Amino acid sequence: MERTFIAIKPDGVQRGLISEILSRFERKGFKLVAIKIVVPSKDFAQKHYHDLKERPFFNGLCGFLSSGPVVAMVWEGEGVIKYGRKLIGATDPQKSEPGTIRGDLAVVVGRNIIHGSDGPETAKDEIKLWFKPEELVKYTSNTEKWLYGVN
Ligand code: UDP
Ligand code: MG
């Protein structure tokens, strides 16, 4: 089953939006398979955002991600990578649709409260960077047969 890496950034944690964000993924029908709260080091943040290292905002972004607690998660489900990005909304909250997490809950691009993997390769790499294999919990959710219609 497909998996994605989702993180609530320090602004989302400080603003008390953890449960709001969790519930949007949970109610949709995605399955939480790993979760922890951590303060990443700046070096770790640079690894996470390595593909953006040439961008002018890279240093500020990594400084911000490592400035406080982050809720790191792995969510599982059919189409979760692409649909997770849909739930999150456009990078710039000014351009995110209402109804999306950033559209409803954030105002500026530098404080857009949440991260989500942008494709299958980054999902794999980010899950591996943030979690040990044994931190991913394998279980059958009671709702699966109702969500997917298979027995
Ligand atoms: N970012 C920023 N300024 C920009 C573009 C991006 O501060 O002009 C930050 C923003 O927090 C964004 C993160 O860098 O979430 C990573 O950028 P990316 O393009 O990967 O956006 P995302 O995948 O998070 O939507
Ligand atoms: Mg990205």
Whether 55 has a pLDDT exceeding 80, the answer reads yes
**83 and 140 in contact (C-beta within 8 Å)?**
no
Residue 144 lies in a domain: no
Region 22-49 average pLDDT = 98
Query: Residues with Cβ within 5 Å of ion ligand 2?
Result: 118
The total number of structural domains that make up the chain: 1
Average pLDDT over residues 135-146: 94
Q: What is the phi/psi pair of residue 101, to 5°?
A: -60, -50
Ligand nearest to the CA of 57: 1
Q: Is residue 146 part of a domain?
A: no
| Domain annotation covers residue 133 | yes
Exactly one of 24, 31, 48, 115 is catalytic; name it. Answer: 115
ipTM value for the complex = 0.98
pLDDT of residue 150: 79
Mean pLDDT of 39-54: 98
Provide the whole-model pTM: 0.97
CB of 63 closer than 6 angstroms to any ligand 1 atom: no
For the cut 80, the answer to whether the pLDDT of residue 129 exceeds it is yes
125 within domain boundaries = yes
In a domain, residue 65? The reply is yes
What per-residue confidence (pLDDT) applies to 151? 64
Alpha helices in 31-95 (DSSP H): 42-48, 58-65, 80-88
Q: What number is the average pLDDT over the span 80-84?
A: 98
Question: Is residue 88 domain-resident?
Answer: yes
Rounded CA separation 87/79 (Å): 12
Q: Is 148 in the pocket of ligand 1 (CB under 6 A)?
A: no
Is the confidence at residue 17, as pLDDT, over 90? yes
48 catalytic? Reply is no
145 in a structural domain = no
Q: Is residue 81 part of a domain?
A: yes
Q: Is the pLDDT of residue 92 over 90?
A: yes
Domain with 89 in it: 3-138
Which residue puts its alpha carbon closest to atom 9 of ligand 1? 110
CATH number at 109 reads: 3.30.70.141
Q: Report the pLDDT value the prediction gives residue 82, as an integer from 0 to 100.
A: 98
